[in-house]
Amino acid sequence: MKNAIYASIYHAVSTDEEPQHQYCPKGSSSWCFYQASIAKNITPGLHKTNVGTPINKLAFSKIRPLYERLTDDSLLLRCSRCLTQNANECLHSIIWNRCPKEVFVSKTRIKIAASISICEYNFGQRRTVSEILKQLGLLVGESTISIAKKRDETRLVIGLEKATEKFKNARRIMALAQNRREEVLLENEGLMYSPGMF
């Protein structure tokens, strides 16, 4: 997985003078024109025509630290076990609670909502609120900290509860019951809706 991530950036930064396809998949069926050409014993074509959107060295130097963080072993381990979808959905839920999709808002407001939500997700509401108020030069009140702490504790308790096997089984049972209800309705009433039906 690490090689695939690095391949996406090094392939795009490669030039004819300095090809950097060491992370690209090898073999004649490779998506990388350079590695495919080498496997077929033919001269690789020009990078100018084969690399869709080349990345210059200045942009590469700015992007590379992000790629290094993305290829951190602890992050890749979580991704390889497929344990990231719920975390992503949880973060999205926090963002959209602050900035609903149904209402038009400015790009600035979306950026602020995303930034605050990411901080809250990673560090908790108490720390996020404290840091934001400090940065704004405002005093952090005791009731503010108390409410934020209570929300953090509630979020933790709910998260732990949802991770239990009992909760997962209850969700499965509810999903099966819902499927049965829909099957009964379909048998009794027939198909009531289908895309393009009317």
Least confident of 7-16, 67-76, 85-94: 85-94
Most confident stretch, 51-65, 71-85, 125-139, 161-175: 125-139
Amino acid (1-letter code) at residue 8: S
60-75 burial code (b ≥16 CB/10 A, e <16): beeeeeeeeebeeeee
**Number of other residues whose CB lies within 10 A of the CB of residue 76:** 14
Q: Which pLDDT score, from 0 to 100, does residue 2 have?
A: 84
CB-based contacts of 98, cutoff 8 Å, min separation 6 = 113, 116, 117
**Number of other residues whose CB lies within 10 A of the CB of residue 126:** 20
Q: Is the pLDDT of residue 196 over 70?
A: no
